[in-house]
Structure 1
Amino acid sequence: MERTQIGRPLLGRRLSRRALTAVSVLAVAATALTGCTSGKATDDGAGKSTATAGGGAAANKGNGKNSIYVIGGKPDDPFWSAIKRGGEDAADLVKAGGGKVTFLGPQNYDNLGPDAAKLTLTAISQSPSAILVPDWVPENQDAAIKQAVAKGIPVFIYNSGGAEAAKRVGGVKYIGSDDYVAGKAGGVKFAEEGAKNILCVNTVPGSANQEARCKGIKDGAKSKGSSSKQLPLPSSNFGNPSAVTQAIKGALLQDSSIDALVTIGVQDADSAAAAIEQAKAGDKVELGTFDLSQSQLDRIKDGKQLFAIDQQPYLQGFYAVSMANQYLSYGVLPPQNPLLTGPLLVVKDNVDKAIAGTKAGVR
């Protein structure tokens, strides 16, 4: 599959301010066909215009001095670095209008839902123009997100939760991949390649998007006559390569019928590759993962990994920040909900283009 036009100019360099303006308008308005909406704005008592909850028109119309808070993942998580890169590129346009974009993230994933809720409350306390947040663990996060909406702060759900989450909490829109659809594509691919018993390794059990990924794998495999089960590991194992490797190795040695492994992220995929090697199962166990990194792409190119499911995180960050900025400033809003950024299955046939994007920091 060809890379989108929005991605090609970014390879190897940042966009100029003029290019960012053009790209943002094209990405958020032109591709949306008829993206302009209207509604009311209210005064917050300090002379600043803020969008009404659920209202069509945006805050600071024609002003552009927007304060956007983006809640994301750990600072050292390579997946989130791609999302942040996209958000930072879009933030250049926000800054050009006199606004700012602030990124917040947890230090670890041990208490993801409650921590994300606290970060949302922190953002609310700063009286932002808009909040962008994944809805990872709804039972922990939804109350905080609804609190922002009740205060008249436009909320965009991105990366996790889907259009259902945006509707449930009163968010403006969802930007990202559909994790269930992405998982289903992976399950179908495994089955088509002959896998019969697939293990989905989940190091963040209970997280809505990770559960949806493993369910998609299971349903996709089932649709082609194969089966899948989940290996839930303590969330404290996330980012602990040795612990994840040993857990996967143990599962492979215990069940010799497992002929495919899929992990919820790239760090775990590296651990899974080590586990397959240590269990001496490389000749019979296929490997797949969600998301991309250089090691995944190298293995795909070398024929040691079947696929990586790319939700194109750069686009999530870029589209989310761009969309919020245009909505706040001009009331421009694409009609599509969700606005999907994936999935795109990276396999041996298209891996070279993905490698180029990874080197540029956008995949």
Structure 2
Amino acid sequence: MIRKLSFAVIVATVVFVNYGLAFANSTIIMVTHSPPSDTYWVSVIKGLEEAGRELDVTVQYRGVENNLNDPNQQRRNLEAAIAAKPDGIVVSDPTPASLNATIKKASDAGIPVVLVNQGGDQVDSVGALAFVGDDPGTQGAMGAAQFNAFGSKRALIITAPPGALPFLDARTNGFIKTFKGKATLAEIPLSDFNNSNRIKSITESQLQKDGSIDAVFSIGGCCITAMMQARSDVGERARAIHWGTIDMTASAIRSLKARELDFALDAQQYAQGYYPVVMLALYVRRAIKPAEERLITGPVVITPDNVNRVESTGP
């Protein structure tokens, strides 16, 4: 079971920042499966950059050109990061079969590694110091719990085909296991995850096929805008359907404020950028290793009633 780090450990990181125990002239490179323009990762990058400024560390972000569907490019980016011999590497691990050997190459070379966002069960396999992110199975289960509370009986899950990506499978399976009603998949090929029109079309097709659907759940930030477009297209029927999503994006915030989206699960991804830099700084400067392997940043449930506070206190 994934556990949260203790309050004392979190306080220790704050003390570390407040006392300015920085390691100047050092570099940390973050390598992920998403481009820097992705609305989810914008907050991660803000956290990364602010931690770099506060700790006097040079930070770099290297993402792929197309979200999720190019593990080969992420691997090449990671190989280039290793060749640069930084003081630390932060890397997402959405496709362990493709990435683990290269990640382990970094740790074997003596470069400390922190996994971020995806790969919480891969820490030992790749020799990482820790993982910072959330548990995809818990995300799916929390989404289902929201719909259970609404009394929903028939849910449509906007997701990838089974087997496409391990963490999306975990989100989908976590939802199905917890949801008390019946769930149907709107399967979006990974090649279409950047195609809002295609996602909308597949979603609307499933809604037209089954008039009993009373809940629609997006599996991630890729699909929120298209889901909301589909909501608009179905007209008056949308009022009888509950709508929810994993991830907070600008589209999710707008839809929550308009009360068109019932909830979004916030991974608090700013922390996913910030905490890995703190961990690596502590390790490189003071040889302090995280006491536990996993720091879970979310999710927390955001609704139309609390979205304004989240927006006002965001990065």
Compute the displacement of 1:144 (Å): 0.8
Q: Which residue, out of 200, 210, 214, partners 1:259?
A: 214
Map of 1:9 onto structure 2: none
Map of 1:176 onto structure 2: 133
**Equivalent-residue separation in structure 1 for 2:285 and 2:58 (angstroms):** 13
1:180 maps to a residue whose letter is G
Greater Cα shift, 301-310 or 106-115 = 106-115
Map of 1:330 onto structure 2: 286
> Residues 327 and 204 from structure 1, CA distance in 2 versus in 1: closer, same or farther, beyond 3 angstroms?
farther
Map of 1:93 onto structure 2: 54
2:127 maps to a residue whose letter is G
Map of 2:153 onto structure 1: 196
Matches within 5 A, 1:103-252: 103-109=61-67, 111-162=69-120, 164-203=121-160, 206-221=164-179, 225-252=180-207
Greater Cα shift, 292-301 or 211-220 = 292-301
Map of 2:45 onto structure 1: 84
Check the 8 A contact 2:91/2:116 in 1, yes or no: yes
Map of 2:264 onto structure 1: 308
RMSD: 2.3
The yes-or-no answer on 1:290 pairing with 2:251 is no
> Residues 110 and 347 from structure 1, CA distance in 2 versus in 1: closer, same or farther, beyond 3 angstroms?
closer
**Equivalent-residue separation in structure 2 for 1:258 and 1:197 (angstroms):** 5
State the SS of the aligned residue for 1:326: helix
Compute the displacement of 1:269 (Å): 1.3
State the SS of the aligned residue for 1:175: strand
Map of 2:31 onto structure 1: 71
The yes-or-no answer on 1:28 pairing with 2:13 is yes
Compute the displacement of 1:268 (Å): 1.3
> Residues 147 and 257 from structure 1, CA distance in 2 versus in 1: closer, same or farther, beyond 3 angstroms?
same
State the SS of the aligned residue for 1:261: strand
Map of 1:345 onto structure 2: 301
**Equivalent-residue separation in structure 2 for 1:110 and 1:69 (angstroms):** 19
> Residues 88 and 204 from structure 1, CA distance in 2 versus in 1: closer, same or farther, beyond 3 angstroms?
farther
State the SS of the aligned residue for 1:114: helix
State the SS of the aligned residue for 1:128: coil
> Residues 110 and 68 from structure 1, CA distance in 2 versus in 1: closer, same or farther, beyond 3 angstroms?
closer
Check the 8 A contact 2:48/2:274 in 1, yes or no: yes
1:202-246: CA deviation from partner (whole Å, max 9, x where unpaired): 25862222222112211221xxx2232332211221222111111
1:42-88: CA deviation from partner (whole Å, max 9, x where unpaired): xxxxxxxxxxxxxxxxxxx9854322110132122011110000000
**Equivalent-residue separation in structure 2 for 1:313 and 1:357 (angstroms):** 13
**Equivalent-residue separation in structure 2 for 1:255 and 1:71 (angstroms):** 41
5+ residue gaps in structure 2? 1-8
Compute the displacement of 1:267 (Å): 4.3
**Equivalent-residue separation in structure 1 for 2:84 and 2:244 (angstroms):** 41
Compute the displacement of 1:286 (Å): 1.3
Check the 8 A contact 2:103/2:126 in 1, yes or no: yes
Percent identical pairs in the alignment equals 27
Greater Cα shift, 331-340 or 147-156 = 331-340
**Equivalent-residue separation in structure 1 for 2:12 and 2:293 (angstroms):** 15
> Residues 232 and 65 from structure 1, CA distance in 2 versus in 1: closer, same or farther, beyond 3 angstroms?
same
Compute the displacement of 1:351 (Å): 1.7
After TM superposition, the score normalised by the length of structure 2 is 0.88
Greater Cα shift, 195-204 or 152-161 = 195-204
**Equivalent-residue separation in structure 2 for 1:348 and 1:167 (angstroms):** 39
**Equivalent-residue separation in structure 2 for 1:139 and 1:104 (angstroms):** 20
> Residues 198 and 65 from structure 1, CA distance in 2 versus in 1: closer, same or farther, beyond 3 angstroms?
same
Compute the displacement of 1:298 (Å): 3.1
**Equivalent-residue separation in structure 1 for 2:210 and 2:313 (angstroms):** 37
Q: What is the number of residues matched between the two proteins? A: 300
Map of 1:34 onto structure 2: none
Check the 8 A contact 1:200/1:261 in 2, yes or no: yes
Q: Which residue, out of 336, 346, 354, partners 2:310?
A: 354
State the SS of the aligned residue for 2:240: coil
The yes-or-no answer on 1:319 pairing with 2:275 is yes
Q: Which has the larger radius of gyration?
A: 1
Compute the displacement of 1:313 (Å): 0.5
Map of 1:38 onto structure 2: none
5+ residue gaps in structure 1? 1-23, 32-60
After TM superposition, the score normalised by the length of structure 1 is 0.77
